[in-house]
Amino acid sequence: MLKKLLLLLCLASLVAWAAPSKGRKAKSKKATPVAEKTVEAPAAPAAKTDADDGVVSVAEKPSSAPAVKSADDDEEEENVDAAVAGMSAAQRRDFFSRKKFEEEQRLDEYANSERRRDWLKDRLIFELGLGSRMPFMGENGIGFGAGVEYITRWHIGAFASFGFLPKTKDSEFEEWQLEGGSGYKVGINYYLFPKNPLHLGLSASYGSVYFDHDIIPNKDGLRSLIKVDGFQFDALITYMTSEWYYLQFSFGFYYAPKLAKKPQKWDIATETGDETTDNPSFRKREIEVGKDELGNPKYDWDDGRWDSRVVKSNGMSKMGIVFGVTIGYAFPEFFPDDTEKRRRQREKERNKAGAGTSNWNN
């Protein structure tokens, strides 16, 4: 009789202990998000042995019920069944392949959006433009040129450009012409805000920065081109995404070391002043001192004085404001990571699916 009472007490204690545990398990399963769709493995059956009398008490029997599907999943399956009803085998294959593609796209949406935010990584750009960076501008117009730029993964780009200045008529004197020429520029750019389509940037370059024309034409009525090299610093506003089109505006200033010093009058007696100059916008003032044997006029330096070759009496400015505009074709990213490869693969599949649907409709 005593053994039966002890056995009854053990069973009552076991039931009292198992009831809250079962409630906790049910509550935790209810709190698990449906989107995770994870099913906990059933617990192994537990056994309790009474060492005194050798009686074994059996633990709670594990539940074998399957995980309950959400109402959204049931509704989605009903929609899929309704959508494929009446379709041919080929149409069903196309439908399910498209559903798979959409599911993969959703699964990789976060990583893809993270990847798309950096559009300045390993990009090669072919450029065409006008103005200061393609490659120069001047007093009487702007140049037209072409260039190439490569932007590294650190958002630092190296570029080079080469351009031309066409030969045109003088706007003041129609019988005169302005000489054309060519120029170059090399430099580096640093871009900011890679997560936005509009990228601000800074640029430093060296090359042809400014030009003007000689105020006195030659015997053919051509005003000679005066071109200077120097340093240029620009602020950039660039539009570029993962697509091919590229647009850039630049605004900055140049500094030409050769134009920094204006030559001073040369005094032969004291040997002071400048007998020669590197400034291309000045020349020696010459006066006619007679004629040679053939009757041609002879000229000599007028008392060591210098004259400006351009319209401005003080010569070309050593510093000035420059600007330009550039368009280009940007190649896709070189050396893409796995996420970018998946994005390109999905783009190809989307285009193929769109082409197939169009042909099927036709």
- Which of 10-14, 48-52, 179-183, 289-293 has maximum average pLDDT? 179-183
In DSSP terms, which residues pair with 322 in a beta bridge?
Answer: 252
Indicate whether 291 and 262 sit together in one domain. Answer: yes
8 versus 143: the higher-pLDDT residue is 143
Q: How many domains does the chain have?
A: 2
Gap between the Cα atoms of 121 and 126, Å rounded: 16
Q: Does 283 lie in the same domain as 198?
A: no
Q: Is residue 82 part of a domain?
A: no
CATH of the domain at 181: 2.40.160.20
> Residue 241 falls within a domain, yes or no?
yes
pLDDT at position 57 is: 42
Mean pLDDT of 285-301: 79
- Collect contacts of 59-64 with beta carbons under 8 A, ≥24 apart: 59/14, 59/18, 60/18, 60/22
In a domain, 76, yes or no: no
Beta-carbon count within 10 A of 318 CB? 19
Closest CA to 241 of 114, 109, 120, 115: 120
Residue 98: Cβ-neighbour burial (10 angstroms; 0-12, 13-18, 19+): middle
Position 256 pLDDT exceeds 80 = yes
Whether residue 239 sits in one domain with residue 307 = no
Mean pLDDT of the chain: 78
CB 325 within 8 A of CB 133: no
- Tokens for 188? 């580096």
Encoded tokens for 209: 């920065």
The tokens describing 41, both together, are 């493995």
Radius of gyration of the chain (CA): 41
231 and 270 together in one domain: no
pLDDT at position 48 is: 43
Q: Are residues 239 and 127 in the same domain?
A: yes
In a domain, residue 42? The reply is: no
Whether residue 75 lies inside any domain: the answer is: no
This prediction has a pTM of 0.64
Between CA 317 and CA 210 the distance in angstroms is: 9
Q: Are both 220 and 155 inside the same structural domain?
A: yes
Residues 225 and 306 occupy one common structural domain:
no
Q: Is 229 within a domain?
A: yes
- Kindly indicate the confidence band of residue 26, based on its pLDDT and cuts at 50, 70 and 90: very low
Say which residue, 218 or 19, is predicted with more confidence.
218
Best CA proximity match to 331, nearest among 129, 150, 125, 151 = 125
Q: Which domain holds residue 305?
A: 257-315
Which amino acid is it at 108? D
- Give the pLDDT band of residue 304 (cuts 50, 70, 90): confident
Q: Assess if residue 104 is contained within a domain.
A: no
Contact 139, 310 (CB under 8 A): yes
Question: What is the rounded distance in angstroms from the CA atom of residue 113 to the CA atom of residue 108?
Answer: 9
Both 174 and 322 in one domain: the answer is yes
Q: CA triplet 123, 125, 126: central angle to 5 degrees?
A: 165
Give the range with max mean pLDDT: 6-15, 297-306, 312-321, 331-340.
312-321
In a domain, 360, yes or no: no
* Cβ atoms of 305 and 287 closer than 8 Å: no
Q: Please check whether residues 292 and 243 belong to one and the same domain.
A: no
Q: Report helix angle 338-361 to 89-107, nearest 10.
A: 150
Q: 323 and 210 in one domain?
A: yes
Claim to verify: residue 172 and residue 205 sit in the same structural domain: yes
Rounded CA gap, 295 and 25, in Å? 119
- Say whether both 131 and 264 belong to one domain: no
Tokens of residue 122, six digits: 């390993």
pLDDT in tens, 49-95: 443 444 444 444 444 444 444 555 566 666 666 666 667 777 777 87
